Amino acid sequence: TGGDNPVITDVTLTGTGSITYTSSTVSYTPPTSFTSNSGSNISISLTISDKFGGEAQGNISFTLNNLLVITTSQTSQSMTDGNSVTFTLTATGGNGQYTYILDNPPKGTSILGNALTFTSSGTLGSQTINYYVKDGNNVKTANSSVSVNITGNPVIVSNTNWPSGASYTLTLTSSTNAVISEVVNATSCQFTDIPNGTYTLSTSNLAGGNFTVSLASSTIEVGTGKNTISATINSLSNLT
C-alpha cells in the first residue's frame, strides 16, 4: 500500500521451482518431480517501486511439501448382512498431519484414525463410501472411494415329517420384507439374501410339525407342533 501507482519491478526466488511476475502479480511453479522427506523452504523477495522512485521490499516464505495423496489397502470387499468390514487408509505427502474425513457416507459407516469401518444393517447390494484426507495446512485431496457388496443370510427350513408327493408354500416375512418359496416333494427349503431382522415363517397346506430353521449351518429353532414360528436372523437367539 502507499506510494503512487506502485508496481513490482524485481523478484528473486530462493529455493526450488520457478517464478514469473507481472507489475501486480507473482506466480510460483513447483518442480514437476519434487520429493522431500521434510519439505523444502521457499523464499520469494519482491521489490516494489512507484513513479516517484520510491521503493519497498517484501518477502514471501513457505514450505513446499510433497503432493498429498491417499490410498487404501483394498478398494472393495464383500460381506454378509449384519457383519462389519474395515478398510485401512494411508496418506502420504502434505505436512504429515492427517485427518481422514467421510463425505456423505451410508448408514453404518464410521472412521477412527485411518480405519474406515462399515457395518451393514438390512440394506443389501452395493454401497459406495467416499472419503478424503486433509493435512495440517488444510490442504485436501479429491474424494476417493471404496465399495462394499452386502449379501443376505441364507435361511434353511426343513421338516423330516413333510409328506412326499405334494407341494407346500413357505413364506418368510417381516415388517418390510416378504420371501416366498415352494417346496415340492422335498424336506428342506433355502431362502437366500435375507437381511437381518425378526421374521415369521408360515406354511400353507401343511399341518403343524417339527420345523428346523437354521442360519447357514447353525440351528436356531426347533418348533414342535407349529405352522408359524418366529426367526431372529443374525443374533441366533432361541425363538418363542
Could you tell me which residues come within 8 angstroms of residue 101 by beta carbon, excluding any fewer than 6 positions away? Answer: 111, 131, 132, 133, 134
Contacts of 227-231 spanning 24+ positions with Cβ under 8 A: 227/202, 227/203, 228/200, 228/201, 228/202, 228/203, 229/200, 229/201, 230/198, 230/199, 230/200, 230/201, 231/155, 231/172, 231/198, 231/199, 231/200, 231/201
Contact 22, 8 (CB under 8 A): yes
Let me know: does 65 contact 25? Beta carbons within 8 Å: no
Cβ–Cβ < 8 Å for 135, 155: no
Residue with cell 405334494: 166
Three-class SS of residue 190?
Answer: strand
Contact 156, 119 (CB under 8 A): no
d(CA 68, CA 23): 32
User: CA 24 to CA 34: how far, in whole Å?
Assistant: 28
Separation in Å, CA 201 to CA 153, 164, 174, 208, 219 = 15, 20, 9, 12, 15
How high is the pLDDT of residue 78? 94
Q: Output the tens digit of pLDDT for each of the chain's 240 residues.
A: 566 788 989 999 998 889 999 999 999 888 887 777 667 888 999 999 988 888 899 999 988 888 899 999 899 999 988 889 999 999 998 888 999 999 999 999 999 999 999 998 778 899 999 999 999 889 999 999 999 999 887 776 666 555 555 566 667 766 666 666 766 556 666 777 777 766 666 666 555 455 555 554 444 343 444 444 445 444 333 333
pLDDT for position 222: 37
The confidence score (pLDDT) of residue 235 equals 38
- Backbone dihedral angles phi then psi of residue 187, each to the nearest 5 degrees: -115, 0
Q: Letter for the amino acid at 18? A: S
pLDDT for 30 equals: 84
C-alpha cell read off for 200: 415369521
Helix (H, G, I), strand (E, B) or coil at 178: strand
